[in-house]
Structure 1
Amino acid sequence: MSAPTLTMEGSDNGAVLHLAGRFLTQSLGSVEKAFADVSVGTGALRIDMSRVDGMDTGGAWLISDLMRRQEATGGQVALESVAPAFEALIETVRAADPHEHFDEAPPRSFRGFLEMTGKGVVNGWHDTVSLFSFFGETLAALFGTLVRPWNLRAASLFSHMQDAGFNAIPIVGLMGFLIGVVLAFQGATQLQQFGAEVFVVELIAISIMRELGVLLTAIIVAGRSGSAFTASVGSMKVQEEVDAMRTLGLNPIDVLVLPRVLALLITLPILVFICVITGLFGGALMSWINLDITPGMFMTRLQDTTDVKHLIVGLVKAPFFAVMIGVIACWQAFQVKGSATSVGQRTTTSVVQAIFMVIALDALFSIFFAQMGI
């Protein structure tokens, strides 16, 4: 086996690099440093491969890396007398080069600012269209499941219900209890100034039933379950498992998205109810300790002054929040591209977007119910 060699010479048309021998991985150590030292700046470089007898991906990578470095300095590079098989191998290696190419930062000028703003608007528009399209596909799959319920993957549904619902009960219950304690303590501090301590019952009940219970529960679920959905499906996207499903004739919306969205749709109202109960318990306990309002008096006041409509208003919001969280989490997962870094970025974006949309949707519900007099 002839060892690989390279010689450099100048010509009127630029530098010429003559390669000879067999450029195989096991023998590249002898020429690796010589390849690294090749540099012609911004000039032209021609690589003569007429005497190359053999090549594998290791040798192709050395040549492609040299070509990349030459092009990065603004120079020109060309292959001469190369066998078609070697040329195809080099092009394949160049196409799969893991070297990251970063876009230059836009110039700090008004024009650069306009360019960056324009790109942001266009990307935002494309993301909005993509999200609505994904939401439509999810709704179509949901209605299709209602028509053909036997197609629903029950095992996956119950597994996600346990992860997103049952396993979230401790943190949701604790959060509700602490919110009730805080409302009772802060409300008592303010109402005592006016001798209206007894109204702390209405303050706690209406706040938790109508707004805080469902809002904070949805935020907890978005941070806990939404991020898990994005990370798990995004990892499958990186490992090309989603493409494998399509190859097998399976719809990823039916297999991956629908069970997760349905799991949130079923479990979030239950979690909201648990949050409300624990919040009222925490508020009653703090009222008893701080205001001497006994549990019996608290329950009597609650039944006499608080309408059940406040609880219904909170529970009505829960399914809408559940669908919003599930769709955004899964949509972000399907936007993952290339690497684990993309999974982390999309997971963070998923949580931020889900929480923002939950708060925005809650504000719209508040305006709607206020206009309806509910």
Structure 2
Amino acid sequence: MLFKRRSDASQADAADADIEPRIALAENEGIHEAILKGNWTTRRVAVVDATLRKIEKNNNIKNLRVDLSGVGRIDTAGAWLIERLLTAMRARGLQPEVTGASNAANILLTAVHDATTREGESAPERRDNILIRALGAIGEAVYGILEDLIAALYILGATIRGAQMKIGRGHSVNVAAIVTQIDRMGVGAVPVIVLMSTIVGAIVAQQGAFQLRFFGAEIFVVDLVGILVLREMGVLLTAIMIAGRSGSAITAEIGSMKMREEVDALTVIGLNPVGVLVFPRLVALVIVLPCLTIIANFAALAGAIAIAYYYSNIAPAAFIDRLRAAIDLSTFLAGLIKAPFMALVIGIIGSVEGLKVGGSAESLGLHVTASVVKSIFIVILLDGFFAIFYAQIGF
């Protein structure tokens, strides 16, 4: 009996599915009547879609009555087609009438009508004018700067406090990690620093000699190169190169560890992420950047000596004698004092951006870019502050 009942039910469903939807349009005393029959379900309504569209475009219809008394089963798809017909009539100023609808059809037609009405009445997203958007962007940027400043001060404070490799368990310094970072950030950067500084020193000497030649004062190119390189350009160009080379590496390394949840794993096993990851890199940068600045200064002066000899016939001995008269110890120290501060800025910004990396490669790329841009900007800004400070104290 159980199998027989299932078979009867399946036969009933199959017979029910064979009743295709139909629509007939008739006119009675100036009123057009659309008579719907069959099952208006998702699998069947496609056969009457074209007929419904013709009725929607029929401009001869002045009044419409939709008769649903012959409709058997109906679902959302069928109700939506009927609502589309009614909406098209209402758009032409007509008041269509629905008759003979079952309770299920009434519920579906009401729900579809309400949904369509809400969608049509939903107001477009209001956009503020350009001034409001600009002020909003400035406000967001200020809050972002505040958050970065708090994170930077936290890292700086934790670094000054000490290495603290283990959370709450005293201090220790991982000398091997510091030496490794010095090798990667310092020794590996020497070739590119020497090449860049030599070229820049040669360019400054050539352009300075070319301009001073009109006044018969080519010898003063030594003063120009010596003061400019030792006070400003040597340390500034070195810091910019380190920001692009090592600052981005710090962000990428810490950011990739953050993506793989290795930073959280350090905390779980009782290690301080700042002491393990940030402290060795900051110490290495503070040691490396002054040393690279000295190398960059000598390389730039060497390039200037070569150009002055071949371009202006200034012998190297004369160049060095004039350089001794033009500069003193304060000229050399003025640039060297800036190096540790610039190193701290580069390391802290790289670490902050690395710890802000999310779980995607796109986030890593964005924060690496932000690290380089912010580091270079702050380094140049810091150099300007030092220049103003030196001018005020007469240094």
Question: Is TM-score (shorter-chain normalized) higher than 0.5?
Answer: yes
CA distance in 2, matches of 1:213, 1:259: 25
Match of residue 309, structure 2, among 279, 288, 300: 288
2:355 match? 334
Report how far residue 107 of structure 1 moved: 2.1
1:312 match? 333
Aligned partners of 2:185 and 2:284 also within 8 Å: yes
Q: Could you state the TM-score of these two structures normalised by the residue count of structure 1? A: 0.69
2:248 match? 227
Residue 248 (str. 1) matches residue 259 (str. 2): no
Aligned partners of 2:164 and 2:275 also within 8 Å: no
Residue 178 (str. 1) matches residue 199 (str. 2): yes
Report how far residue 337 of structure 1 moved: 1.3
2:127 match? 107
Match of residue 379, structure 2, among 332, 340, 358: 358
Match of residue 174, structure 2, among 115, 132, 153: 153
CA distance in 1, matches of 2:132, 2:386: 41
CA distance in 2, matches of 1:151, 1:250: 11
Aligned pairs (5 A) from 1:127-166: 127-141=148-162, 151-166=172-187
Report how far residue 134 of structure 1 moved: 2.8
Aligned pairs (5 A) from 1:22-61: none
Larger-Rg structure: 2
Aligned pairs (5 A) from 1:64-103: none
Aligned partners of 1:141 and 1:253 also within 8 Å: no
Distance 1:235 1:292, change over 3 A: same
Residue 324 (str. 1) matches residue 348 (str. 2): no
CA distance in 2, matches of 1:106, 1:265: 51
The one-letter code of the counterpart of 2:209 is A
Aligned length: 280
Aligned partners of 2:163 and 2:171 also within 8 Å: no
Give the RMSD, CA atoms, in angstroms.
3.1
CA distance in 2, matches of 1:140, 1:105: 51
Aligned partners of 1:265 and 1:323 also within 8 Å: yes
Unaligned segments of structure 1, at least 5 residues: 1-37, 44-73, 76-103
CA distance in 2, matches of 1:127, 1:249: 25
Distance 1:191 1:149, change over 3 A: farther
The one-letter code of the counterpart of 1:309 is S
Residue 266 (str. 1) matches residue 293 (str. 2): no
Aligned partners of 1:185 and 1:286 also within 8 Å: yes
Report how far residue 186 of structure 1 moved: 0.2
CA distance in 2, matches of 1:304, 1:296: 13
Aligned partners of 2:178 and 2:283 also within 8 Å: yes
CA distance in 2, matches of 1:105, 1:268: 52
Aligned with 2:357: secondary structure? coil
1:368 match? 389
Distance 1:297 1:123, change over 3 A: closer
Identify which range, 113-122 or 172-181, moves more after superposition. Answer: 113-122
The one-letter code of the counterpart of 2:237 is L
Identify which range, 152-161 or 224-233, moves more after superposition. Answer: 152-161
Report how far residue 138 of structure 1 moved: 2.5
CA distance in 2, matches of 1:264, 1:39: 67
Match of residue 368, structure 2, among 326, 337, 347: 347
The one-letter code of the counterpart of 1:107 is R
Match of residue 207, structure 1, among 211, 228, 246: 228
Report how far residue 143 of structure 1 moved: 9.5
Aligned with 2:328: secondary structure? coil
Aligned partners of 2:259 and 2:359 also within 8 Å: yes
Distance 1:173 1:39, change over 3 A: farther
Report how far residue 108 of structure 1 moved: 4.5
Q: Would you identify which runs of 4 or more consecutive aligned residues in structure 1 move more than 4 Å?
A: 110-114, 142-145
CA distance in 2, matches of 1:364, 1:203: 21
Distance 1:188 1:140, change over 3 A: same
CA distance in 2, matches of 1:296, 1:208: 19
| Aligned-pair identity (%) | 41
1:167 match? 188
Q: Could you state the TM-score of these two structures normalised by the residue count of structure 2? A: 0.65
Unaligned segments of structure 2, at least 5 residues: 1-74, 81-114, 117-123
Aligned with 2:271: secondary structure? coil
CA distance in 1, matches of 2:176, 2:381: 33
Aligned with 1:337: secondary structure? coil
Distance 1:290 1:325, change over 3 A: same
CA distance in 1, matches of 2:390, 2:311: 33
